[in-house]
Amino acid sequence: MDKWTELKDWTNKEYESLKKEYEDGFAPDDDLEISEDEMVGIIKGLQMVLNKMRQMETQRNLNNEFKQCTGTEAYYNGFANMIKFTDGIKIMADKFQAYWLIDVVGSYQYKVKGIPFQIWTIKSTGTKAVVEMIEDTGKPVLVKQKIPFTDFPEGILKMYCIDGILLLPSEY
C-alpha cells in the first residue's frame, strides 16, 4: 500500500471514529469543541492537499514522448536569432503547438548569456504553466515565468540550452 492510500485510509478511519463518538454523545477531548461540519471541512481540506501533492508528484514526463530524438540533422533559428534549436525541439513544438516556448527561452538569452549550460523546464497543469531555468541540478531558479493560460499538455518537459542551442535531454 502506498503512503497516499495509507494516509487516506487513516484519515477516513479517524473521521469515522470521531463521527461515532459524536453520535454517541462523547467528545474526543473535553477541551476540543468541534462540530461535525467543521470536521468534514478539515478532512476535505486534508484530502485536497493530499490530492495536490499526489498530482505534483505524478505529473506526466512529457520527455518520454520524444525518446526517439537522439540527435539532429539540422539546426533552426529561434527567437531573433538569439537561439538555435534541434530537430527534437522542432518535433516537440510541432506536436504541442509550442513554438512560443522556444521564443520564451530565446527571449531570456540576453539575461543568461553567460551561462553555457541551462536546464529549462515547463510544468503545466490545467490551463496554467510555469517555465523555469536553472544552471544545474540542485541550483536555484534563475528564471521563472508564469504562463497564465496555455493549451500545453499537462506534465513536465525538460530542455537544455547549451551554448545557445536548445535541445531535448535525449539529444544530449
pLDDT in tens, 140-151: 999 999 999 999
Q: In the chain, pLDDT over 70 holds for what percent of residues?
A: 86
**Mean of the pLDDT values across residues 118-127?**
95
Q: In the chain, pLDDT over 90 holds for what percent of residues?
A: 60
pLDDT at 151: 94
pLDDT at 57: 61
pLDDT at 48: 79
Provide the pLDDT confidence category of residue 2 given band limits of 50, 70 and 90. low
pLDDT at 113: 86
What is the distance between the alpha carbons of residues 142 and 146, in angstroms, rounded to a whole number? 13
Q: Report the SS3 class of residue 153.
A: coil
Among 128, 158, 161, 162, CA closest to 145: 128
Provide the pLDDT confidence category of residue 157 given band limits of 50, 70 and 90. very high
pLDDT at 100: 96
What is the distance between the alpha carbons of residues 139 and 61, in angstroms, rounded to a whole number? 21
What is the distance between the alpha carbons of residues 112 and 106, in angstroms, rounded to a whole number? 10
E strand residue ranges, the chain: 76-77, 84-85, 117-125, 128-134, 141-147, 155-162, 165-167
Q: Report the SS3 class of residue 62.
A: helix
Report whether pLDDT(30) > 60.
no
Q: Name the pTM for this structure.
A: 0.68
CATH 3.10.450 is right for the domain spanning 62-171: yes
CA distances from 10 to 17, 38, 44, 62, 116 (A): 10, 18, 14, 33, 49
**Mean of the pLDDT values across residues 12-26?**
71
CB neighbour list of residue 74: distance below 8 Å, 6 or more residues apart: 86, 87
CB neighbour list of residue 106: distance below 8 Å, 6 or more residues apart: 78, 79, 80, 82, 83, 166
Residue 61, classified by CB atoms within 10 Å of its CB into exposed (0-12), middle (13-18) or buried (19+), is: exposed
CB neighbour list of residue 141: distance below 8 Å, 6 or more residues apart: 132, 133, 134
pLDDT at 39: 80
Higher-confidence residue of 90 and 42: namely 90
pLDDT at 102: 97
Higher-confidence residue of 81 and 171: namely 171
Provide the pLDDT confidence category of residue 38 given band limits of 50, 70 and 90. confident
